[in-house]
Amino acid sequence: MSLKNSEIILATQNKDKIREIRKILGYHFKIVTLKNFPEIIEDGKTLEENAIKKAKTIFKITKITSIADDSGLEVDFLDGKPGVYSARFAGKNCKYEDNNKKLLKLLKDVHYKKRKAKFTTVVAIVFEDGSIKTTSGSVYGYITTEPKGNNGFGYDPIFYYPKLKKTFAQLTTQQKNKISHRAIAFKKAKKLLEAEIRD
Ligand code: IMP
């Protein structure tokens, strides 16, 4: 196995994600994206299934080492919900605020100690020989009782990170990118990719 010209393709169209992942992976790799991105229905029961499905779909088209990620928020009190359904928790085509409102309503009057939650990202890599590897990263916090902060996206305003005593939406992009679930998972993926290059 080798990474031809260290070229890898990211199975995403999300420009924010591409920028963030480029920063984490550094400059060893020539990172490319697809112009005509196919529709991929994320119908897996786990983050892993979805990440693998996305990476495999892009690999079939390009035959270049393909990387995809899938993330979600798991809340203890809700037995791990919204989890793999994080993006559409409040319904199809819902906005981030709708998801946050729904979550806060479900946790109304629930004590701080029972509001534990974690963000998880799973990264799937399909290498040039078709072999698949996955990595994951999680970050732990609590769901607040009201949104705070204007940065970030998704559930960031209601995800309180005790180590920094702030919600993710109160962190700068640089601060979040140092500690986030996505950063942890992609740093592990970077190690796997670097190992391939050395072979
Ligand atoms: P994706 O798989 O990365 O697109 O994430 C699915 C959904 O999880 C997003 O639509 C967000 O609602 C939520 N999510 C994932 N990562 C984050 C994050 O870093 N902050 C806040 N919400 C996130």
120 within a domain of the structure (yes/no): yes
Check which CATH number belongs to the domain holding 187 and give it: 3.90.950.10
123 within a domain of the structure (yes/no): yes
Query: What Å distances lie between residue 146 and 32, 109, 136, CA to CA?
Result: 39, 12, 29
Q: Which of 17, 86, 180 to mutate to test the pocket of ligand 1 (most atoms within 8 A of CB)?
A: 86
Contact of 152 with 176, CB cutoff 8 Å: yes
Bridge partners (DSSP) of residue 68 are 124
Whether the bond between 82 and the residue before it is cis, its omega within 30 degrees of 0, is yes
d(CA 42, CA 84): 9
Q: Is 52 exposed, middle or buried (0-12, 13-18, 19+ CB in 10 A)?
A: buried
Q: How remote is the CA of residue 156 from the centroid of ligand 1, in Å?
A: 9
pTM: 0.92
38-75 per-position pLDDT tens digit: 888 889 999 999 999 999 999 999 999 999 999 999 99
- The 10 Å CB-count burial string (b at 16+, else e) for 27-47 is eebebeebeeeeebeeebeeb
30 within a domain of the structure (yes/no): yes
pLDDT value, residue 105:
98
87-131 per-position pLDDT tens digit: 999 999 999 999 999 999 999 999 999 999 999 999 999 999 999
**What is the count of structural domains for the chain?**
1
2 within a domain of the structure (yes/no): no
pLDDT(156) > 60: yes
119 within a domain of the structure (yes/no): yes
199 within a domain of the structure (yes/no): no
Q: Residue 198: pLDDT band by 50, 70, 90 thresholds? A: low
Domain that holds residue 32: 7-194
Q: How remote is the CA of residue 71 from the centroid of ligand 1, in Å?
A: 5
Tokens representing 49 are 């299934």
Ligand 1 atom showing the smallest separation from residue 47 Cα: 2
Average of per-residue pLDDT across 157-168? 98
